[in-house]
Amino acid sequence: MIKKSIKSGIIFVALGILFVVLPSSARAGEECAVIAEKLVKPDAVSAEFDVPKTKVNSVKLSVEQSPIELKTVKIHYNNRADDEYNDLGTLQPGEQTKAFDAPGIKKVKITGVTVLYQFPDDKSEGAVIQVLGCK
């Protein structure tokens, strides 16, 4: 009886470790590629990126040329409600946001991304925002 409960405990711990380690190791090998990009100027406050129904596990944003404060990022999906993320902070040139995971276990089709932004530096002439699709 005691051996059976010890064996059950070991199996339970092993499964717990497996479910914690697998998702993080899967993300380590994640490949991301630019699926859309746009030059944005300080006179606008939003940018829409059309993505031709690309299948992804997650989405990241990157910025080049000038820092941008990300107010809202909305990810549009093919057959489900949009995901919205608010007050993401300032992204410096060359940096990427954290990965915005797609819903579910399998890849999903996104149709676009909308970004509301602000330039923290009044002297900025513009920046390039890139949308990265990760598989």
Per residue in 115-127, pLDDT (tens digit) is: 999 999 888 999 9
Number of domains present in the structure of the chain: 2
Q: Are residues 1 and 63 in the same domain?
A: no
CA 37 to chain centre: 15
Determine the Cα–Cα distance for residues 33 and 73; give it in Å rounded to an integer.
18
Determine the Cα–Cα distance for residues 133 and 110; give it in Å rounded to an integer.
9
- Domain CATH for 118: 2.60.120.260
Q: Are residues 19 and 37 in the same domain?
A: no
**What mean pLDDT value characterizes the chain?**
84
Lowest mean pLDDT among 11-20, 24-33, 60-69, 72-81: 11-20
- pTM, entire model: 0.75
Determine the Cα–Cα distance for residues 71 and 10; give it in Å rounded to an integer.
46
Give me the domain span that covers residue 113: 31-134
